[in-house]
A and B are shown apart, each in its own frame.
Chain A
C-alpha cells in the first residue's frame, strides 16, 4: 500500500558504503561545501591556539586597514580590537549556537512529529495545531521575544532558536511517519507483538531519518543567520564576539572602514553557503529520485 514511500530508503541502503562514498566524492558541490565547513570548524576549534587571549581586548590602534600592520593582518575595529581574532573566535560562537539550536529543534521536532505521525487521530490534531501556533509567529520575532524575556546568553539564544525551528522538523518527521506506519515491515513488527515505543524508535525512526539529516544542515545555517541577526540588533551575548555583532559594530563605519562589515559578512556567507552545499549534496546522494542512476 505504501511500498513506494519506502523504496527510496531501501534503495539508499542498497548502495554499499563504498559506493555511497564515491557518489559523494563525485558531487563537486558537496566536496566544496565539506572542505569549506572543515576549514571553518578547524578555525573554531583552534581559535584560542591561533589567537590566544581575549578577542575583545583592545590591542592596537583603531581602524587599521587590512595588511596595513602585519601584526593585525585583517585590521582592527573602532576600538582597536583584532578583526582576525574576532572572526576566528566568532566562528566558535556561531557554530556552537548553530549546532546547539539545531539539536534542540531536532529533538523537539522529531519527538512531536513521530508521536503525531504514528498515532494520528486526536493526538495528531492537537500536535498539528501546536505546530501551526508556533508557525504563525515569525521565527525571528519569537527568538527576539524569548531572548528579551530571558538573559541574552549564548545558551538562551541557542534554546530560543531551537524553539522557533522545531515545527519544520516536526512536519517533516510527521509526514515520514504517516507513510511508514502503513509499511509492511511495520505491520510485521506489530504482528510480532512489539508495542508502539519499540516500533517508533527502532522500526520507523531509522527509516525516516534521511530527509531529516538533509534538513539538519539547513537548520544549522538558519540558526547561524538568526544568531547573527540578533547580535546585529545588539541582542547577542555581550560577553562573546560574534559575526553578527561585528557587523553591527562596523555599521557606523560603513563608508570609511567598510572592510569591518565585509569581512564578517563574508564569514557568515561562506559558512552558510558551505552548510547549504553539504545539505544539497546529502539530498542528491541520499535521495535516489534526484536523478543519480
Chain B
C-alpha cells in the first residue's frame, strides 16, 4: 500500500484550522491535516488528546455540548463544517462512513443485522427491498462472515464482538464511501481478531478505493497499516510524517517518548528483561500553560518553549513538527502543500 506515492493523488479531505470546544473549553485546537484519495492517515495520541473529537467533528457527529468553533472541513469541494444538515445526512453513510470503537453497543439491539445493512442501502440508493437484501448478503460475505444468509437473520447479541465489528464495517462500506473514519476500530477486540479486522479494512480500502482516517493509540497498528501519521497531543497536532520516516526518526520529543514507551520500536527491547521508558507527568500538567503544551513533560524544554505555543512547521521532506527544538523550521504557510 505504500508502493504508490500518495503525493500524486488529489486531495479528498482538507481540514484547516479545525477547533472544537465544549463551550469555553477547547479540546481540539486549530488542527490542520489532509487526506488524499485512497490514502490511510493514522491519527495517534493518548486518551483525551482530542483524536476522537477530531474524527467526530469531521462528520459533525460531536456529542451534545461540543461544537465546531472554527475551521473548515473541505470534502470533495464542500465545507462539511457549514453544510446544510440535510445535505450532510446524504453524505453520511454514503460518501463518508464512520466505524466506532464499541461494536457491542453500536448496532441496534432489536433489529436483525441483515435488515440493518439493507436499510442503509435503501437510505442512500434507489434499491428494491429484495435487491437491498441481496446486497446485504453480498456485503456480509465481503466482510468475511460465513453463512451470510443465516447470519443476516441474527440479532446483534447472537454474534461475537469480532462478527459485530464486521457487520459494522459492512454497513459502513455498503454505499462505497470515499472516506472511512475508523475510531479505534479494534480496541474492543481480542488481539487475534484485531489483526483480522485491520487486514479486512485494508483490503476493503484498496478494493473500494477508499481513503481512511484511522484513529488509534496503538503504534503497532500505525506502523503496519498507515501511509502517514499525525500525532496529537492536548488538542494539537504536533507531528505529521509518512509512517516510514516517522518510525525511523521521530522528530518531536513527544513522538520520541511514545516510541520509546512501546515494545518493538526504536531500540530492540524485551518485554520481560527491559523496562519501558515512560513519559514523565500527565497530559493534565499542560493545563493553563501559555507555551508548548508538552513543555512541562519535555526533556528538551527550554525557556522559550514556555512563552508561546510552537507552530506546526516544515522540518524536512514531507515532515511537519511543532517544536522549536527541532531544526529546519519553515512556516507551513510558506511551504508547498505537502502530500
Contact = CB atoms under 8 A, between A and B. Distances in A.
B338 interface: no
A194 interface: yes
A159 to B, nearest CB: 31
A71 interface: no
B54 to A, nearest CB: 15
A202 B111 contact: yes
A283 B102 CA distance: 28
B106 interface: yes
B157 to A, nearest CB: 5
Interface in B79-136: 86, 89-94, 97-98, 100, 102, 105-111, 120, 123-124
Contact of A13 (B89, B98, B105, B109): B109
B270 interface: no
B61 A191 contact: yes
Interface string A180-200: 001111011111111100000
Contacts of B108: 185, 189, 202-203, 206-207
18 contacts: A3-B102, A6-B105, A10-B105, A14-B157, A185-B106, A188-B100, A191-B59, A192-B92, A192-B123, A192-B172, A193-B89, A193-B90, A193-B93, A193-B120, A194-B123, A195-B86, A206-B108, A207-B109
A187 B91 CA distance: 15
B111 A192 contact: no
Q: Which 6 A-B pairs have the closest CB atoms?
A: A192-B93, A193-B93, A191-B98, A193-B92, A184-B105, A184-B106
B155 interface: yes
Nearest to B88: A193
Interface residues of A, number: 25
A13 B61 contact: no
B171 interface: yes
A188 B110 contact: no
Interface of A: 1, 3, 6, 9-10, 13-14, 120, 182-185, 187-195, 202-203, 206-207
A134 B309 CA distance: 56
B109 A182 contact: no
A262 to B, nearest CB: 46
Contacts of A194: 89, 93, 123
B109 A185 contact: yes
Contact of A193 (B94, B106, B109, B110): B94
Contacts of B214: none
B41 interface: no
B92 A9 contact: no
- Which bucket holds chain B's interface residue count? 20 to 34
Nearest to B100: A184
Contacts of A10: 105, 109, 157
A206 B91 CA distance: 26
Nearest to B96: A191
Given A6-B109, A184-B105, A206-B110, A191 B97 contact: yes
Contacts of B168: 188
Contacts of A202: 108, 111
A129 to B, nearest CB: 21
Centre residue among B90, B157, B171 by max chain A CB count within 10 A: B157
B64 interface: yes
Nearest to B107: A185
B52 to A, nearest CB: 11
B23 interface: no
Given A189-B108, A194-B123, A13 B157 contact: yes
A16 to B, nearest CB: 9
A195 B86 CA distance: 8
B63 interface: yes
Contact of B107 (A1, A14, A188, A206): A188
Contacts of A206: 108, 110-111
B277 to A, nearest CB: 33
A100 to B, nearest CB: 28
Centre residue among A14, A187, A206 by max chain B CB count within 10 A: A187
A188 B123 contact: no
Given A9-B110, A183-B105, A190-B61, 18 more contacts: A6-B109, A13-B109, A13-B110, A14-B157, A185-B105, A185-B107, A185-B108, A185-B109, A188-B106, A192-B93, A192-B97, A192-B171, A193-B90, A193-B94, A194-B93, A206-B110, A207-B109, A207-B110
Contacts of B91: 193
A156 B297 CA distance: 73
A191 B86 CA distance: 13
A184 B155 CA distance: 16
A244 B227 CA distance: 78
A193 B124 contact: yes
A206 B172 CA distance: 23
B102 A184 contact: yes
Contacts of A191: 59, 61, 92-93, 97-98, 100
Given A188-B107, A193-B92, A13 B63 contact: no
A107 to B, nearest CB: 21
Nearest to B110: A206
Nearest to A189: B108
Contacts of B93: 191-194
Contacts of B155: 13
A188 B111 CA distance: 14
A221 to B, nearest CB: 27
B123 A193 contact: yes
B323 to A, nearest CB: 34
